Each structure stands twice: as C-alpha cells, then as structure tokens.
C-alpha cells in the first residue's frame, strides 16, 4: 500500500500532468488540412471515437456493410461499419456500429435516422453501451457561432458555400474537410459566423435545403476547438502517389434517396461548373428563409389520391398550436416543379403564419415528426417563391373566414 501511494504521488502524478502537454504537441503535428476541432484541441482520440460512434439496430438482413455506409455517409465521412455476424450462417445479426470522423456527424445521424424505414424495417439508432456523459468531460465547449454542414456536393467550393450562407450574417470562416487522396473535399465541414444568432438561424433554415441535387444536413456543433485550414492547406500537402490513391477509408457524402443516380447528377453539375462560375447554378432565395413566416410540410400524405377537402382545415388545427395562422394551402406539385427540385413530393402543405417566430416553432414541432406512418419534413420557405407557387391554388383554408 505504501508503494502504491508513492507511485500515485510520483510516477502516476507525472504522467497525468504530462498528458495534456503531450496531447497538445500531438495536435500540433496534425496536417494543416485536418478539419476536426476536437483533435486539434488535443482531445483524447479514444474519447473522440466514442463520441463519433452510433449503434444501429433493426437492420434489414439483406443489407451489407457497403450499403449501410452509403446510406449513413449523408451525415459525414464514415470511418468504419462493424456488423455483428452469426458464425453459423455468416450473415449479420441485424445490428451494428458506425463510426464517423467527427461527433457532429454521429449526432446528426441519430437525430435524422432513428425511426426511419430502411429496407422495410424501422431503424433504431442510439449511443453504444460504452457511451457516457463522463466521456465528454474536459471537451472544449462548442462555439455558439459555429455550425456543422454535411452532404455538400463536391462541385460546391468553400467560397461558394460561404456566399450561400452569407445572407444570414457575417461569415468568419468556412472550411471543408480534405480528402488528400483525391484532393477534393469530403462533403462536410464547418461554418463560423461572427455572432450566435445567424448561426442559429442558418442551422434551422438550411437543414434540408436542396443544393446541387443533394440535401444539406446542418446542425449546431457538439465539440469545440480550433478549425484547420481546410482546402487552403492543399498547396502545402504533397499529392498521394497513384498506387496509394485508391486506398482510403472515407467515402464522399451520398444521399440515401439517390444512391443509384447520384453519380450522374454530380457529373452533370461539375460539367456546368467547368463551363462558367460555379455559383451560377445555385438557386438561392432572395431573402434568408429564416426570416420567412412560411413553413413547408412534405410527406404528410402519400400522394394526391389521399387529399380531401378537409385536409387544409385539419392541418390548421395542428399548426395553430405554434402561433396565429393567416392561411393554409394544400399544393399539388406539378411535373415542372418536381423536375426543378423546387418541391420534393406530390403534395406540399404550406403554413402561412402571421409572424416568423411562429414559423420557427412550427419547424421545430413538425420536422421529423411521424404522422400516419410517415415521417414529415418541415422547413422554412421563401415568401416570394411561396406566392408564385400557390397563386393559382384552390385548396386554401383561411381561419379568419371561418371564425
């Protein structure tokens, strides 16, 4: 016991005192293109791994590791997929674990994919058993001005992404993670504003926003720390030899709903970007949608055959829980609107609130909520675009007219 106490006061004490300094030195040795605030801040790699890992249950037995990776890479670079196998049959047991580069990707995947139907089964997403809040102790606090952005089309550069988010407020930094093998970005990164309010508005308004045929995934940060140089560091990083270029544990972000045809869409966009300024093909609202009182609900009904005369009035009863409503519009999407990706489904429902604050509450209430067996998608919508789309609609409910 005396010897153990002596060790506690000498050797072990020195190790504990040296550990933060050694972590800082290791962080400074990381390549300049590293975009992982936690690692750059010297957070223990093992704790970062736990924070970046999720449990996935109720997986269809016909899905394999690669298919699961493609689906979940929408939220960030997937480092590994491990599925428990039955030694007798060689097939997986219907559950596994996915590890990302950063904790933000894992958190996004849990928020979006838990309860989602995949291959006829409802996924169950959560934290692994070894996760504990104690793991996060000592992590640097996430800056309130910083947001995480994933599923960015490879044709969108850092400068273009910065310009897209600029209407919300002054952008101090915009960095995307670099794939040294391909010398392209990995489809995820961080945007830091000058103030907290624009970051909050951008995270709410731009999550689910269609950009370059991919749906952006945006949320507030989970772990703080310094940002790397991103794509700007490529000038100081030597190219990877061709023989090793194919060896990479990471994949570019891909949306699950477009796994089959996403390659053709991206190639088309890259061709357009090569012909002129890459920002030209991005259609952005004239005013930040975060300031709009319009909320778009999609996937409320399966199709136009399920629409009846009472739908708008029924939806008003739900929407007024968030604030005063001026109008509810049930919009049947045209083929042209589907082709231009202005709207996603056959039926869109618009809430026109009397103030923007009520619209924000409605998005928080309805987005990812399950309704009649379907997961609803809700987002703020540009006022001018809403007026154009619904100018000829007849399925309209105006509460004042019925009071």
Sign of torsion over alpha carbons 221, 225, 226, 228: negative
Beta bridge partners of 95: 57
pLDDT for 141-183, tens place per residue?
Answer: 899 999 999 999 888 889 889 988 998 899 999 999 888 778 8
Do β-strands 396-397 and 325-332 pair in parallel, antiparallel, or remain unpaired? Answer: antiparallel
pLDDT for 236-271, tens place per residue?
Answer: 555 544 433 333 333 333 333 333 343 344 344 444
CA atoms within 13 A on the CB side of 87: 0
pLDDT for 315-340, tens place per residue?
Answer: 998 899 999 999 999 998 877 776 66
Separation of alpha carbons 217 and 115, rounded Å: 17
Report the pLDDT value the prediction gives residue 128, as an integer from 0 to 100: 85
Separation of alpha carbons 224 and 141, rounded Å: 5
pLDDT for 193-221, tens place per residue?
Answer: 999 999 999 998 888 888 777 888 999 99
Separation of alpha carbons 191 and 162, rounded Å: 8
Residue 123 has pLDDT above 70, yes or no: yes
Rg of the chain in Å (alpha carbons): 24
CA atoms within 13 A on the CB side of 205: 26
- Predicted model pTM: 0.55
- Any idea which residue has 């000498």 for tokens? 10
Distance between start and end Cα atoms, the chain: 81
If you average pLDDT over every residue of the chain, what do you get?
77
Q: Which of the pair, 270 or 53, is modelled with greater confidence?
A: 53
Per DSSP, 247 falls in state -
pLDDT > 70 fraction of the chain, expressed in percent and rounded:
72
Q: Where are the alpha helices (DSSP H) in 299-354?
A: 311-319, 335-339
pLDDT for 66-106, tens place per residue?
Answer: 889 988 999 999 999 998 888 888 888 899 999 999 999 99
Domains and CATH numbers, the chain: 45-136 (3.30.70.330), 146-240+250-281 (3.30.70.330), 289-402 (3.30.70.330)
Separation of alpha carbons 92 and 64, rounded Å: 8
């Amino acid at each position: 016991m005396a010897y153990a106490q002596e060790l506690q006061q000498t050797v072990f004490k020195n190790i504990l005192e040296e550990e933060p300094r050694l972590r800082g030195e290791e962080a400074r040795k990381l390549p300049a293109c590293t975009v992982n605030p936690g690692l750059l801040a010297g957070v223990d790699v093992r704790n970062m791994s736990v924070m970046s890992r999720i449990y996935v249950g109720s997986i269809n037995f016909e899905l394999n590791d690669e298919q699961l990776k493609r689906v979940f890479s929408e939220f960030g670079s997937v480092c590994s997929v491990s599925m428990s196998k039955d030694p007798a049959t060689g097939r997986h047991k219907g559950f596994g674990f996915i590890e990302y580069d950063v904790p933000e990707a894992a958190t996004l995947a849990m928020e979006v994919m838990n309860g989602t139907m995949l291959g006829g089964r409802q996924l169950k997403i959560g934290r692994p058993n070894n996760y504990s809040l104690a793991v996060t102790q000592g992590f640097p606090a996430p800056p309130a001005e910083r947001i995480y952005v994933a599923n960015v089309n490879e044709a969108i550069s850092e400068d273009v992404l910065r310009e897209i988010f600029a209407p919300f407020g002054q952008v101090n930094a915009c960095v995307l993670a670099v794939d040294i093998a391909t010398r392209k970005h990995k489809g995820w990164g961080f945007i830091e504003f000058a103030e907290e309010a624009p970051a909050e508005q951008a995270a709410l308004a731009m999550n689910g926003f269609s950009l370059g045929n991919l749906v952006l995934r945006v949320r507030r940060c989970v772990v703080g720390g310094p940002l790397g140089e991103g794509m700007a560091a490529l000038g100081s990083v030597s190219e990877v030899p061709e023989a090793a270029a194919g060896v990479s544990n990471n994949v570019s972000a891909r949306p699950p709903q477009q796994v089959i045809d996403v390659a053709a869409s991206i190639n088309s966009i890259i061709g357009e970007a090569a012909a002129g300024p890459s920002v030209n093909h991005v259609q952005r609202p004239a005013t930040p949608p975060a300031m709009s009182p319009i909320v778009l609900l999609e996937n409320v009904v399966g199709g136009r055959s399920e629409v009846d005369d009472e739908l708008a009035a029924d939806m008003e009863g739900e929407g007024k829980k968030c604030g005063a409503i001026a109008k509810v519009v049930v919009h049947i999407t045209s083929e042209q609107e589907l082709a231009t990706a202005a709207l996603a489904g056959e039926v869109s429902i618009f809430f026109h609130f009397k103030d923007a604050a009520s619209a924000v509450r409605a998005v928080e209430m309805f987005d990812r909520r399950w309704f009649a067996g379907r997961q609803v998608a809700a987002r703020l919508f540009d006022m001018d675009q809403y007026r154009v789309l619904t100018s000829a609609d007849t399925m309209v409910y105006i509460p004042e007219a019925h009071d």
